[in-house]
Structure 1
Amino acid sequence: MEIIKTCLDGCFILKPKVFKDERGAFFESFHKITFEKLTGMQIDFVQDNQSVSFKGTVRGLHFQTGKYAQAKLVRVIEGEVLDVAVDIRPTSTTYGKHIAVILNHNNNNQLFVPRGFAHGFITLSEKVILGYKCDNYYNKDYESGIFYDDPELNIDWKLDNSEIILSKKDRKLKFFNDLF
C-alpha cells in the first residue's frame, strides 16, 4: 500500500498494490498496521457503510459533530465518483479548503477523510457502489452538512447542475459560512 499526502493535513490517498492474473485481480483494501506506520495515525474502524447511487447523484457534504465526529476511509467497488473532502476545522491552516479525487473500480484508490472534515461525492458513471469505513458510530442527533453547491467552496462537481440528483435532506443543508 502506498500512502499519498494531500494538501489537507491528515487527509490521504491510499493506493493498494493490485495483483492481476488470468483469474482477475486481488488487493488488500486496508491493513491497520501498514496504515498506522505510514500515516503516524492510529485508527479503529467500527462501522462499514455501502451505498448504491446512479449517475448525477450527490451525497453530501456530510459530517458528524462533537463526540460522534467520524474519520472515513472511502472506496469505490463499482463505477466512478468524484470524492470530495472539505476541511471544517476552524483552527486549521486549510480551513475551508477542499480536495476532489477520482475514485473508481479501476484505480482502486481510496480517500482517508479525517475527523473535522465534511465529505461528499458525485456519481460520474451510470451506477456506483461505494463503501466506506468509519471510526465512530453514526448518530442522527449529531449529523450536519454543507450544501454541495456552496459558492464559497467553489467545488467543480464535473457535471452540469441540471444533471444533479439530491435528496430532500441534502437540499436543505447549510452554507459553509453558516456552520459555526
Structure 2
Amino acid sequence: MLRRWEETGGKISGIALLGEITARGYRGGYTQFATWKQHELQAPDGPPPRPRPPTVREATDWLTRHPDGLTADAELQRKALLAHCPELEIAAGLVRSFAEMLTLLDGERLPEWITTATTSGLPGISTFANGLNSDYDAVAAGLTTPWNSGHVESAVNRIKMLKRQMFGRAGFQLLRKRVLLA
C-alpha cells in the first residue's frame, strides 16, 4: 500500500487505492484501511492530531458526579472543559450547590439558589428555577424533611404498568389478581 502511495506521489485517493489493493487480494475493510492511512501517512513533523471533543454524556458525567468520584484523568478533562466555557462553569456550580441541598436536606438555601439560578442567564437552569418557584412549598418541604414518598410512588408506578399491560384484554377481576400476585 505504501509503495503504491509513493508511486503516485500521494495523488491517488484513498478509495481508489483501496480498490486497487482489494483487487490484489487485500481482505481488510475500509475502516481498517482508513486507520492505517491516518497513522502511516501522517506527516512526522506535522502537528499531532487534535484529541476528540468529549461527548455530551461524558461532559454531563463530569459535571454531575461528586468530585471525589472522578478519576484523575476525568478531573483534568473536567477542568479543561470548564476553563473553555465560562457559562458551563456557572452551570456546574449551580448543579453542585443544588445537589448539596438535596443530599444535606438544606432547604433553607433554596430561595437564595432560585435567585442565583434565575439571574444566571442560563436558559435551562432559569426555567428549572422558575418551575421550583411555582411550587415552592412542596419543594421546600422535600428539601427539609427526611420523609419521602418513594415507596408509595414505586408501588403506584408498578400498578399502572400492570394496568397498561392488561389494557383491553381482561376485566377488573383478572387485573386485581395480577396486582395482588405480582
TM over 0.5: same fold? Answer: no
Larger radius of gyration: 2
Q: Structure 2 length as normaliser, TM-score?
A: 0.20
Higher RCO (CA-CA < 8 Å; seq separation 6+) = 1
Q: Which has the higher strand share?
A: 1
- Which has the larger share of helix? 2
